[in-house]
Amino acid sequence: MSEINEKWEGTPYPDMIRNLPEIEIPIDGIRGWLLQDGTIQAVFFDLQPIGEIPPHSHCDQWGLVLDGTMKLTIDGEEKTYTRGDRYFIPEGVVHSAIFLTRVFVIDYFNASDRYTIKA
């Protein structure tokens, strides 16, 4: 088994999710499976402890942490999130994230074009 495949072993998502299209994301250590309709997207993320995602903003985002530990800074306020925690980031609000461990989250976006399907 290759090293890249080994790091993705242990994802908690069943085949019905891992058979969804993967998202295109230019950051090593992040994988996501996309569920969408004409107006929204939900992404099942598997994030390695890659460090910080720089400040950015986009459409509304609601998330639920399934497992792991991460820090989110939302509009200048930093908070640590773990299993069972949820968060909401309003449209246009600047936010960043630090993934301290391997993290599994489900994020819901109120836009149909937040992510594209991996080629």
Q: What angle do CA 27, 28, 32 make, to 5 degrees?
A: 75
Structural domains of the chain sorted by starting position, each given as residue range(s) with its CATH number in brackets: 3-11+27-109 (2.60.120.10)
Measured CA to CA, the distance from residue 49 to residue 29 in angstroms comes to 8
Measured CA to CA, the distance from residue 97 to residue 74 in angstroms comes to 9
3-state secondary structure 63-101: EEEEECCEEEEECCEEEEECCCCEEEECCCCCEEEEECC
pTM of the model: 0.91
pLDDT by residue, tens only, the chain of 119 residues = 345 445 667 888 999 999 999 999 999 999 999 999 999 999 999 999 999 999 999 999 999 999 999 999 999 999 999 999 999 999 999 999 999 999 999 999 999 999 999 99
Q: What angle do CA 27, 35, 105 make, to 5 degrees?
A: 55
